[in-house]
Amino acid sequence: MLQWLMLGLFVAILLGSGYVAMRKTKTVNDFFLGNRNVGPWMSAFAFGTTYFSAVLFIGYAGKVGWGFGLSALWIAVGNALIGSLLAWWILAKRTRRMTVRLNARTMPEFLEARYGSKNLKMYSAIIIFVFLVPYSASVYMGLSYLFQEVLGMEYLVANLLMAGLTALFLVMGGYLAVAITDFIQGIVMLFGVAMMLFFVFNHEKVGGISEAITRLNEINPALASPAPMTLPAIIALISLVLLTSLGTWGLPQMVQKFYSIKDEASIGRATWVSTVFCIIIGAGAYGIGALSPLFFEQIPLLDGRPNPDLIIPQILTETLPLFGLTVILLLVLSASMSSLASLVLVSASAIAIDFVGIVKPQWGKEYGVFMMRALCIIFVALSLIIAIAKPAIILDLMAISWGTVAGTFLAPYLYGLFWRKTTKAGAWAGALTGLTISVGLSFIAPLVGFTEVAGIKLETPLVGTLAMLISLVVVPVVSIFTAPLSAEKVDQAFGTDEQGKSKYKQQAIGEEMST
């Protein structure tokens, strides 16, 4: 009864926020960006809660902690320093300023305006919609496993419940509803992680931090080591750090937070709030995952097969009291709802704003908000179908999507922000390279038996990392040897320093007056 009451209260807050936001949502800009008027605390918590979902707590933390032990904590460090701190420092101000100049609301719109290519916009929209569907499905899968363990709810019922809630919440309020609730959800996540760490570390199988290290060392010295002891393990860990940290720089659902923040003055505060949030959540999740060998002699089974997605849920059900389990359920639900909301919004915008904006521009003006809401429902339904099918474990499903999208967009977006000499051909080369490497090595290479190089297995995180890094090399090389963009097109994006500041200031004043 306590669990259902707390869950009901949480759902009521979500739907109440959606209703309040619905009354303020009149345009596509309102629905997708909150009219570019989201404050620093909301932006920071929106960034953090979108970053971490059920995939982290259920899939990543369990499998990675089981395989790497305490060295998995380097992923948490990378997430906080590279994925959050450097992302805000390097990208946020330039992104906010340039997207205002170019009047861009989405990643495909930015790439079209920056490089003068409608085809690049359409290509980007298709990539987002196709590859964020399995990413969203992985979130549903992870959340449903937890509901199954904690509430005893059937997997299918849990999926249907979450899909219905996501669709209703988003259709009502869009990004503004997400921003309103992310602050509350972030607090729930911080409180939940603190409670989770307290009970797990004080459990008899763990016995505190120092005793846990001693016991891990007795099981396997590699589990207690601050770094992996073999070259393949080192490469695997580095690829996980880069994929989950640098990868955020190219994910449209993460970059969206820089588009929508209120003004440049808010960026500094949001940077530190987001970074502190990320280090607490990341260290908590991977820290508990690292303790999993103390609880299991082998990976838990599902339908007779080892399934690492059950590691964290079973640890929590063994160590936490009923109230604590309910808080953790709300923690993962909070993280997942925010991630799902951002994924669905970005994917719906890829069709409603970007694709339809090219094929039928008038439809976007007349039916933009309606199409966004309808496509949110369609996207949720497609993700639900994949989640019910259970095509693979969460780690691979999420990593393939993450790596493909980040590999496609990171280089064209990053060079587009900072390097005036980036060409249209260079942007295309980077986008195609990222997609080709990720899809080729993930799906095609295994069919012909190409699964390792020099003894290093081409696992999913390494493939995604290669897609990002190689595309970062390809873009400048191709740009050097191809026709430059016109000076007018470059100046439109960058301007002179004074022109840029003046235009940005005028835009900011206009937004403030409108607000």
pLDDT at 433: 96
CA separation for the pair 302, 149 (Å, rounded): 12
pLDDT computed for residue 509 by the predictor = 46
Question: How far is it, in rounded angstroms, from Cα 262 to Cα 256?
Answer: 12
Nearest Cα neighbor of 258 from 38, 513, 16 is 38
How far CA 10 is from CA of 13, 27, 459, in Å, comes to 5, 28, 38
- Report pLDDT for 179: 66
Supply the pLDDT for residue 204. Answer: 92
| DSSP secondary structure letters along 380-446 | HHHHHHHHHH--S-HHHHHHHHHHHHHHHHHHHHHHHHH-TT--HHHHHHHHHHHHHHHHIIIIIGG
**Helix (H) or strand (E) run with residue 335 in it:** helix 322-349
**Among candidates 113, 116, 111, which has minimal Cα distance to 127?**
111
What's the half-sphere exposure (Cβ side, CA atoms, 13 Å) at 143? Answer: 32
Domains and CATH numbers, the chain: 2-390 (1.20.1730.10)
**pTM of this structure:** 0.81
pLDDT digit string (tens) for the chain, length 515 residues: 777 787 788 778 777 776 776 666 565 555 555 556 677 888 888 888 778 865 676 667 888 889 899 999 999 999 999 999 999 999 999 998 998 899 887 888 899 999 999 899 889 888 888 888 777 777 777 677 667 766 777 878 877 887 787 777 766 656 566 666 677 777 878 888 888 899 999 999 999 999 999 999 999 999 999 888 788 889 999 999 999 999 999 998 888 888 878 778 889 889 999 999 999 989 988 999 999 999 988 888 777 778 787 888 888 888 888 777 777 777 777 667 666 777 777 777 667 666 565 556 665 555 556 777 777 788 788 878 877 776 555 556 666 888 899 999 999 999 999 999 999 999 999 999 999 999 888 877 777 677 777 667 778 888 999 999 999 999 999 999 999 999 988 999 987 544 444 444 445 444 444 54
Say what the pLDDT of residue 293 is. Answer: 92
Give the side-chain half-sphere CA count within 13 A for 14: 24
Cα end-to-end span (Å), the chain: 43
Cα 365 to Cα 374: distance, rounded to the nearest angstrom: 15
Report the candidate in 451, 213, 187 with the shortest Cα–Cα distance to residue 327. Answer: 187
- Give 13's contacts (C-beta < 8 A, 6+ positions apart): 181, 184
Q: CB–CB of 353/364 below 8 Å? A: yes
